[in-house]
Amino acid sequence: MTAQDLDSLRAEIAASIAVKQLVLADDALLQQVSELAHACVAALRAGGKIIFAGNGGSFADAQHLSAEFTSRFMVDRVPLASLALSTNNSAISAIANDYGYKQIFARELQGIAHPADVFVPISTSGNSANILEAVKKANEIHIATVAWTGQTGGKLAPMCECIRIPSKDTARIQECHILIGHILCGLVEQLYFSEEHAK
């Protein structure tokens, strides 16, 4: 490894840390994460589920976080109800063919959503057409929705509450999305099962 390579690696790590420091200092953003955790616990208690959706890297994050709920995160416990939209390839191709790709999340959400659910759409730009359609549908059927976006919130900003990562860099935004995702999983696990034991 050359000195230039090392400097480049350090610069990337420093850039990631810098955005996380901004998140750390943003009390309003942290309050949103806490409130989302409490909303998820209330949904689970009411027989609802936590639904994630995203494209590309955000799709991977959606699956990852849903798996943390249905398997386990920090403690061994019963599974918690969660899913990521569009994990069924046949459904994706059918909906895209019959209704257009913009509807792949909205159509599935309409079919499976319950009023007690919490919907977490993830879009670094806040402008993904299929995420926008899904949020429109979530609003129509009155599902609590908290989107995860980048700095501006994009077109999602006026449509629903957005947890906005203070960056315009896709990689930095995604790094912080998985950070707050892990924090969310840990908080939900802690709150849900501490309440369970308190009964």
pLDDT in tens, the chain (199 residues): 898 888 899 999 999 999 999 999 999 999 999 999 999 999 999 999 999 999 999 999 999 999 999 999 999 999 999 999 999 999 999 999 999 999 999 999 999 999 999 999 999 999 999 999 999 999 999 999 999 999 999 999 999 999 999 999 999 999 999 999 999 999 999 999 986 545 4
Structure tokens at 12: 């990337």
Structure tokens at 185: 């999983």
Identify the pLDDT of residue 165: 98
Q: Please give the Cα distance from 32 to 164 (Å, whole number).
A: 10
Identify the pLDDT of residue 130: 98
Identify the pLDDT of residue 170: 97
Strand order in the sheet with 161-164: 82-84, 50-54, 118-122, 144-149, 161-164
Q: Which residues contact 167 (CB under 8 A, 6 or more apart)?
A: 19, 22, 150, 151, 173, 176
Q: Which domains does the chain have, with CATH numbers?
A: 3-198 (3.40.50.10490)
Distances, alpha carbon 21 to alpha carbons 14, 27, 165, 167, 182, in Å: 10, 12, 11, 11, 17
Cβ atoms within 10 A of the Cβ of 37, count?
20
Identify the pLDDT of residue 25: 98
Identify the pLDDT of residue 195: 64
Q: Please give the Cα distance from 77 to 189 (Å, whole number).
A: 9
Helical packing angle, 3-25 and 27-45, nearest 10°: 70
What 8-state DSSP symbol labels residue 114?
A: -
